[in-house]
Amino acid sequence: MINSNRFEKSETMASAPINLKKLSEILGLSQTTVSRALNGFPEVSEKTRVRVQQAADGLNYRPSPSAASLATGKTRAIGHVIPISEHRMINPHFSDFLAGASEAYAAAGYDILLRMAPAGEEEDIYRDFASRRRVDGVVVHGPKTVEPRIDLLKSINLPFVVHGRSGSDTDTYSWLDVNNLNAFQQGTQLLIDQGHTRIALVNGLESMNFALRRRAGFEAALEANNIAADSRYICSADMTETYGHDATVAQLALKNPPTALMFASILPAMGGVRALNELGLRAGKDVAIITYDDQLSFLQSPDGENTTPFFTSISSSIQAAGKRVAEMLLAQIDDSSRSPLNELWEAEIVQGQTTKQT
């Protein structure tokens, strides 16, 4: 039978844009039935479902997202708006977060709609997303200590999940956060246990909620050990390598310089090590270092090795967080009546070479 393979994919033929109508005509079925078959509705018999599916595959039929979106009101896209800090700095953590998230999205057939905007312009973008129905939901990055975005999103009824959290009514919306307070308390305690009393905190921007929580953990540990907090030992800024370097130089130039440094991210920590080396000091011997580690992929060992890592760190995978946040958001979009999901992850302390070996 000469037509037996007429449905087979043809690489050579410029794939004529086949649509539902044509497909249903070819099959001798109505558009309704074909649509339902393809979307797995129960009111179509298994026999025809298979037949339809095969024809669709063979003819390389791909439903138009615009048309589907117009008909359903769903876009199958998630908005991520990435803040650009004042110094045109774009936080490298996002790429890893997005890599994790995109895994979950891909599995569910969703796309990422990305916008980058100076911090503060995010609200307009959310409004735009909502009123034009451009996305089905958004994830909120880098919540500030006061965070108008959360109330806004609630009021415009756009599903969202916060990476981090902010405000007091944290049970009224979905979020996933690392237990930053606990992480930095434990990290600080570890340094104290090793005999340090003058400990510096090279923190992130303290307009960020996570930075404030880290500082609180840091100070809680000091207080628990009756060490007076000294504000000269605390600094905060965008987490660049250069900042870590300069902060370290400044710290070690103090009269009573700290003997241990805690970094909010591995990038400034690397800058710190560079500064130490310039000063002829060795990390882990002359000065102890602990850093928070988001397990950025481009700073990892290429093969998950046995060698002890360089930095002693408080560690949690930002890729894993991205994946989970995405899953939470999709779940919420699927069932908008579900109650908010909250997850607080504990970071893990990893022994490295920048603190005393135990």
Partner DNA sequence: AGAACAATCCAAAGCGCTTTGGAAAAGTGC
Partner DNA sequence: GCACTTTTCCAAAGCGCTTTGGATTGTTCT
Give the binding site for a second copy (CB under 8 A): 14-15, 17, 60, 62-67, 69-70, 75, 77, 80, 82, 84, 87-92, 94-96, 98-99, 102-103, 106, 111-117, 128, 131-134, 155-157, 237-243, 267, 270, 273-274, 277, 296-303, 310, 319
Residue in 214, 81, 237 with CA at minimum distance from that of residue 149? 81
| Least gap, CB of 5 to DNA (angstroms) | 23
50 contacts DNA (rule: CB under 7 A) = no
Site of tokens 């800024």: 237
Cα–Cα distances (Å) from 342 to 146, 194, 254, 329, in that order, read: 19, 35, 42, 11
Residue in 127, 114, 94, 111 with CA at minimum distance from that of residue 319? 94
The Cα 22–Cα 31 span in angstroms is 9
68 contacts DNA (rule: CB under 7 A) = yes
Among 15, 50, 70, 114, binds DNA (CB under 7 A): 70
| Least gap, CB of 56 to DNA (angstroms) | 10
290 contacts DNA (rule: CB under 7 A) = no
The Cα 327–Cα 346 span in angstroms is 19
**The entry of DNA, a second copy, none that residue 339 binds, CB within 5 to 8 Å by partner kind:** none
Half-sphere exposure of 204 (CA within 13 A, CB side): 24
Please, which residue, 48 or 189, has the CB nearer to DNA?
48
Residues contacting 69, CB < 8 A, separation 6+: 75, 76, 133
Beta bridge partners of 358: none
The Cα 221–Cα 224 span in angstroms is 5
The Cα 324–Cα 113 span in angstroms is 18
35 contacts DNA (rule: CB under 7 A) = yes
DSSP letter, residue 287: B
45 contacts DNA (rule: CB under 7 A) = yes
131 contacts DNA (rule: CB under 7 A) = no
Query: How are beta strands 111-118 and 77-84 bridged, if at all?
Result: parallel
Give the containing element (helix H, strand E) for 34.
Answer: helix 31-38
44 contacts DNA (rule: CB under 7 A) = yes
How many binding residues for DNA (CB under 7 A)?
29
Among 7, 58, 60, 63, binds DNA (CB under 7 A): 63
Site string for DNA, 251-280 (x = CB under 7 A): ------------------------------
Among 5, 15, 31, 54, binds DNA (CB under 7 A): 31
Site of tokens 């558009």: 31
Task: Spell out where 85-205 has E strands.
Answer: 111-118, 137-140, 160-163, 174-178, 199-203
Among 5, 64, 256, 308, binds DNA (CB under 7 A): 64
The Cα 240–Cα 244 span in angstroms is 7
Task: Spell out where the chain has E strands.
Answer: 77-84, 111-118, 137-140, 160-163, 174-178, 199-203, 234-236, 260-263, 288-293, 312-315, 342-345, 348-350
Please, which residue, 256 or 277, has the CB nearer to a second copy?
277
Please, which residue, 26 or 117, has the CB nearer to a second copy?
117
Among 8, 15, 17, 86, binds DNA (CB under 7 A): 17
182 contacts DNA (rule: CB under 7 A) = no
Q: What residues from 71 to 100 belong to the interface with DNA (CB under 7 A)?
A: 71-72
**The entry of DNA, a second copy, none that residue 48 binds, CB within 5 to 8 Å by partner kind:** DNA
| Least gap, CB of 101 to a second copy (angstroms) | 9
**The entry of DNA, a second copy, none that residue 19 binds, CB within 5 to 8 Å by partner kind:** DNA
Residue in 156, 162, 166 with CA at minimum distance from that of residue 81? 162
List of residues contacting DNA (CB under 7 A): 17, 19-21, 28-33, 35-36, 38-39, 43-48, 61-64, 67-68, 70-72
